[in-house]
A = this chain, B = another copy of it.
Amino acid sequence: MANSQPIEWLGNKVKLLDQTRLPQEEVYLELTDYHDVASAIKEMKIRGAPAIGVAAAYGIALGVLKTSAKSKDEFLIKLKGITQAMAATRPTAQNLFRVINRMKQIAEAGEDVDEIRKALVSEAIKIHSEEAEATKKLAQFGAELIQNGFTILTHCNTGALATAGYGTALGVIKQAKEQGKNIRVFATETRPRLQGARLTAWELKRASIPFTLITDSMAGYFISRGKISCVIIGADRITSNGDTANKIGSYTLAVLAMEHGIPFYVAAPTTTIDLSLASGDDIPIEERSPQEVTHIQGVSIAPEGTQALNPAFDVTPHYYISAIITEKGIIKEPYIERLKKIA
């Protein structure tokens, strides 16, 4: 697959591929201010839970490089402001909060402010490479589940763009293809933000994997007609019992998969697991602007004054999930015992 890295650290800037402009245009942004990184995450110029984590890490690095704080106390106060800005971007993605905690711990452990700055930059780079490595590994585990001849349904975008690495669900698919398996993908367009039509289609095309684009409403039709071998999605947060928050529409695909007896897989690095939450009921679900529903690519599709709701994620209870694919192996029920061991 051609290089399509969504984020790069340039020493004193963050280079981002603006995903809101794909597939029409490949526009790169170079950001020097952490506020701009926070805005880019909020506006989904970079998105996907693992990639959000990496972007937040670099955003924090940018922020602390610019602080004039001389004492550690002063530095920690500045850092708090920076991490709060990052935390306020997308409430559902667990990877974001992991990164924030990790960066805070590094800062607290340090003594000299200049040393802490360097340590935080190094840590951000390390987080990026760990996430990339994790998706590469989980893709190898996951590809074992993909048989030659499979037609795989996936939702939203979970490739390099979403992970700053190899990809989660789409990484599994790419790995199966690289193993020489003859596979085909059905990609849902993923309203409202059309990550499937815009981003997954773009990545699949570049990877020369044959695919068919469908609307979200068509998944049931193709599953019921036996056209789909399995469903694979990514995750934004997995609680200790295996319940999984992912892009709105994922839950519906899980119900359809179970109704028709096909496997439903979740692929995510262990950084997506949140053992502090007992179940999916506790996951905060981001509510985005109704305008994303009433408008498509800026064009109004509904009568003026139409009210809409826009939950960005839903929760799939663990009993719909055939397996969770991580960089530490493939996890099955009982998730509550097995996730504890790897997270």
Asked whether any CB of chain B lies closer than 8 Å to the CB of A251, the reply is yes
In the bound complex, CA of A255 to CA of B290 (Å): 26
Cβ A215 vs Cβ B192 within 8 A: yes
In the bound complex, CA of A267 to CA of B294 (Å): 27
Cβ B307 vs Cβ A211 within 8 A: yes
Q: Assuming the A-B contacts A299-B297, A301-B194, A303-B23, are A216 and B216 also in contact, with contact meaning beta carbons closer than 8 angstroms in the complex? A: yes
Residues of A in contact with B, size category: 35 or more
In the bound complex, CA of A214 to CA of B194 (Å): 14
Cβ A198 vs Cβ B301 within 8 A: yes
Asked whether any CB of chain B lies closer than 8 Å to the CB of A219, the reply is yes
Cβ A212 vs Cβ B309 within 8 A: yes
Asked whether any CB of chain B lies closer than 8 Å to the CB of A180, the reply is no
Asked whether any CB of chain B lies closer than 8 Å to the CB of A18, the reply is no
What copy number does this chain have within its complex?
2
Q: Determine how close the nearest CB of chain B comes to the CB of A37; give it in whole angstroms.
A: 27
Residue on B with the closest CB to A259?
Answer: B255
For A189, what are the chain B residues with a Cβ–Cβ distance below 8 Å? 191, 293, 301-302
Task: Point out which of A205, A215, A259, A296 has the most chain B C-beta atoms below 10 A from its C-beta.
Answer: A215
Cβ B220 vs Cβ A308 within 8 A: no
Q: A23-B303, A217-B248, A259-B259 are in contact. List 6 more A-B contacts (CB 8 A).
A: A191-B215, A197-B301, A201-B302, A215-B293, A220-B255, A255-B256
Residues of A within 8 A of B (CB): 23-24, 188-192, 194, 197-198, 201-202, 205, 210-222, 224, 248-249, 251-252, 255-256, 259, 290, 293-294, 296-297, 299-303, 305-311, 314-315
